[in-house]
Amino acid sequence: MNQANTVDMGASENVSGSDAQKFSLYHTDANIQFTQQLMQGYLPLFASCRSILDVGCGPGLFLDLLRRQESHRGFLGLDIDADMVRRAQDKGFDARCLRAEDLPADLPPRFDGIYAGHIIEHMAGCAALRFLQACYDLLLERGVLLIRTPNWEHPYVREVNFWLDITHVRPYPPELLQKVLADIGFGVVKGFKEDVGLQDVAVIAVKTPREEVIHPGVNC
């Protein structure tokens, strides 16, 4: 056998999530303006937030918009990709390299807003449950969580777009996310599909004070 044509399968198993993400067709600076236009509509949701966590912050696109809206507040960005974290840091943001499913790590419950755009579809079910529970724990009372994820009901997403990212694991329909968030303890949960682009799923949840809900937590 010609060794030059062999593939080291053992080495491929050692590819990290960060390295694998670089093979995605979305690991690019293309369409930044359009991406931020989609994000722009959610700024009013965070207008009164004083401390905001952006999970999967990338190079800081949403953080940029938030800072333009109101600079005198706290921002923290997390991303699995060290290159993206450095780019966000170069813009002056506090950004750290951390997997979303590793929340809360050493983070205290101090946020009144969490944005998780196109993150949860990279997780299997139990990891997603742990992530959503961690978001609940990290939010202050009346804090808001926004999740955006691909819309599996859109034919192009289902047949083409979803599979262009090698790290995508499974879709999360809004009905499922709403049920899980309500079970975790979020008191106000609203799900819908955006009316532009590929009509992403968006779910908004508000952390209700514990004494107002039965809080089963996550056991997975």
- 118-153 pLDDT tens trace: 999 999 999 999 999 999 999 999 999 999 999 999
How far is it, in rounded angstroms, from Cα 136 to Cα 208?
10
pLDDT tens per residue, range 78-118: 999 999 999 999 999 999 999 998 888 777 778 999 999 99
Q: At 205, is the secondary structure helix, strand, or coil?
A: strand
Compute the average pLDDT of residues 31-40: 85
How far is it, in rounded angstroms, from Cα 217 to Cα 107?
19
Q: What is the pTM of this model?
A: 0.84
Structure tokens of 69? 């809206």
pLDDT for residue 217? 46
Q: Indicate the DSSP class of residue 84.
A: H
How far is it, in rounded angstroms, from Cα 164 to Cα 181?
28
pLDDT for residue 117? 96
Beta bridge partners, 111, equal 139
**Better-predicted residue by pLDDT, 162 or 13:** 162
How far is it, in rounded angstroms, from Cα 71 to Cα 183?
34
Domains of the chain: 33-53+61-71+100-212 (3.40.50.150)
